[in-house]
């Protein structure tokens, strides 16, 4: 194999000309080459499989569960912007709320021969085992978000299932529900009925959010959930469920929605009933921080949402896949992580709108700075990220018969690696997710 000196301008320019490296500077290209070489040497010394530098002809697929969700469309645009910054290509696939259809889509994309990586954002967790199995066989990098099977971890698949991530939905939902009940108590000291719009039945995210909601209610015994109906995480079903619940419980005084899409459906239902969202009835959402949700808060139609920022999710998942493709190897504690969400209210919504909605051509993140390959020393996740504890995440959910904790996971817990990783990510987190964009000119 011929060696190249990736420090001279002539050699770097020759490779930049040959590769599709839009948006990558000479300095970043040299860093990428040297980081990849160092990672390969280290991998060989420890007996790990090495990873080649990403092919310029390959692409990333963002596979999402429905184009009916603004969240998915917002993430797709963020993935597009991130791949542009990294000189990569992307495609997307709409599962149309059907996980079997999504599995078929994966097989079709993989069969084309140029698929290098996948962000899986599935309708439920039923396809993750098969897709992760195929990804390992086909050497396609996989990062999974939100939907999964409890007690199934990346360690039980292969190194190519590199990442599972979600926000801390339990505590985020608890926080927004507490906000709702605190505000309602000011005008209803004796309490009252809340109606609930839950998500997709059986979806782990909905389970976590409902648990968080119910935990918040324990501190406000004067309030009760009068009834629940699934809104399936979309506006249309959320609207139908809200209309049904409002008819059943005309004396309800507040609405909990499992996500922003359902909250928008609830606001429309109130209008149909001759009521005003935010005036005649308060609404909160336990996720996700969509642009439309921010606008609803600005208009006074929604009290709060747990903003996990879909633009961040797309950028974070994309840069993780880019890094592992180019030789970076995550520690065990980095293969399952939470990213931070922040309660968005009238007090901080203007910051979100300026950075993520009314930002024109100004990108909300420095995508390259998220990369540990391009910035091995000064990388910045641009949100607070922490290792995920599965005993907390899936508490109360029975383990499958015969299931045991993966050794890599238990070693990370007992050795202190989780605490060290948490401290490292906290130290590197410099650019506030709810502050001005780092790309905004002074």
Nearest in space to 126 (alpha carbons), one of 172, 95, 169, 155: 95
Q: How confident is the model at residue 343 (pLDDT cuts 50, 70, 90)?
A: very high
Q: 7-16, 72-81, 300-309: lowest mean pLDDT where? A: 7-16
pLDDT at 70 over 60: yes
Mean pLDDT across 111-136: 97
The pLDDT score that the predictor gives to residue 101 is 98
| Percent residues over pLDDT 70 in the chain | 87
- In tens, the pLDDT along 382-432 reads 999 999 999 999 999 999 999 999 999 999 999 999 999 999 999 999 999
DSSP label at residue 281: B
Q: 372 forms bridges with which residues in the sheet?
A: none
Q: Distance between CA 386 and CA 392 in Å, rounded?
A: 13
Confidence at residue 202, expressed as pLDDT on a 0 to 100 scale: 87
Q: Are strands 342-344 and 304-307 parallel, antiparallel or unpaired?
A: antiparallel
Question: What average pLDDT score do residues 353-368 get?
Answer: 97
Average pLDDT, the chain: 90
* Tens of pLDDT, residues 191-210: 999 999 999 998 999 999 99
Residue whose tokens read 């990370």: 412
Check whether 10 has a pLDDT greater than 50. no
Structural domains of the chain ordered from first start: 9-46 (no CATH), 59-167+309-342+361-428 (3.40.50.2300), 170-307 (3.40.50.2300)
Rounded distance between C-alpha atoms, residue 281 and residue 196, angstroms: 13
Query: Rounded to whole angstroms, how far apart are CA atoms 208 and 171?
Result: 9
What mean pLDDT comes out for the span 140-169? 97
pLDDT (tens digit, 9 = 90+) per residue, 84-106? 999 999 999 999 999 999 999 99
Question: What is the structure's pLDDT at 28?
Answer: 53
Residue-level pLDDT at 27? 56
Percent of the chain whose predicted confidence (pLDDT) is above 90: 86
What does DSSP assign to residue 430? -
Residue 144: which of 117, 178, 105, 168 has the closest Cα?
117
Q: What is the pLDDT of residue 128?
A: 98
**pLDDT for res 441:** 80
Q: b vs e for 244-253, b when ≥16 Cβ sit within 10 Å of the residue's Cβ?
A: ebbeeeeebb
User: Distance from first CA to last CA of the chain, Å, rounded?
Assistant: 47
* pLDDT, tens digit (0-9, with 9 covering 90-100), for 230-254: 999 999 999 999 999 999 999 999 9
pTM of the model: 0.86
pLDDT at 6: 44
Tell me, what's the pLDDT at 39? Answer: 43
Q: What share of the chain is helix, strand, coil (3-state, %, to 5)?
A: 45, 15, 40
**pLDDT tens across 17-67, in order?**
434 444 455 555 455 545 444 444 444 333 333 334 444 469 999 999 999
Distance of CA 127 to the CA centre of its chain: 18
Give the mean pLDDT of 279-301: 96
Task: Give the confidence band of 315 by pLDDT, cuts at 50, 70, 90.
Answer: very high
């Amino acid at each position: 194999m011929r060696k190249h000196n990736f420090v001279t301008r002539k050699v770097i320019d020759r490779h930049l000309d040959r590769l599709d490296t839009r948006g990558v500077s000479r300095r970043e290209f040299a860093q990428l080459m040297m980081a990849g070489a160092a990672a390969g040497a280290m991998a060989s010394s420890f007996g790990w499989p090495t990873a080649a530098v990403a092919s310029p002809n390959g692409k990333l697929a963002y596979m999402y569960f429905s184009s009916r969700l603004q969240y998915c469309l917002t993430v797709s645009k963020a993935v597009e912007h991130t791949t542009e910054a990294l000189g990569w290509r992307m495609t997307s696939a709409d599962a149309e709320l059907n996980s079997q259809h999504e599995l078929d889509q994966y097989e079709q994309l993989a069969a084309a021969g140029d698929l290098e990586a996948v962000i899986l954002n599935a309708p439920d967790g039923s396809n993750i085992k098969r897709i992760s199995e195929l990804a390992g066989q086909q050497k396609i990098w996989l990062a999974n978000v939100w939907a999964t099977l409890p007690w199934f971890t990346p360690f039980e698949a292969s190194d190519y299932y590199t990442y599972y991530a979600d926000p801390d939905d339990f505590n985020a939902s608890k926080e927004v529900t507490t906000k709702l009940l605190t505000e309602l108590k000011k005008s209803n000291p004796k309490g009252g009925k809340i109606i609930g719009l839950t998500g997709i039945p059986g979806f782990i995210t909905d389970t976590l959010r409902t648990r968080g909601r119910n935990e918040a209610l324990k501190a406000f015994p004067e309030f009760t959930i009068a009834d629940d109906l699934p809104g399936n995480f979309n506006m249309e079903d959320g609207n139908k469920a809200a209309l049904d619940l409002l008819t059943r419980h005309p004396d309800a005084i507040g609405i909990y929605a499992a996500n922003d899409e359902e909250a928008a459906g609830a606001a429309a239902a109130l209008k149909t009933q001759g009521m005003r969202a935010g005036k005649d009835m308060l609404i909160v959402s336990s996720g996700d921080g969509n642009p439309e949700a921010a606008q609803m808060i600005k208009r006074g139609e929604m009290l709060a949402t747990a903003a996990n920022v879909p633009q961040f999710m797309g950028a974070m998942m994309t840069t993780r896949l880019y890094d592992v493709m180019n030789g970076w190897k995550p520690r065990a504690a980095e293969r399952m992580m939470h990213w931070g969400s922040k309660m968005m209210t009238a007090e901080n919504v203007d910051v979100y709108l300026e950075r993520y909605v009314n930002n024109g051509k100004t990108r909300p993140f420095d995508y390259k700075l998220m990369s540990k390959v391009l910035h091995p020393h000064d990388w910045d996740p641009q949100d607070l990220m922490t290792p995920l504890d599965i005993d907390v995440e899936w508490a109360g959910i029975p383990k499958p018969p015969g299931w045991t904790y993966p050794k890599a996971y238990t070693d990370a817990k007992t050795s202190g690696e989780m605490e060290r990783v948490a401290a490292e990510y906290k130290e590197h987190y410099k650019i506030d997710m709810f502050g001005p964009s780092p790309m905004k000119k002074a």
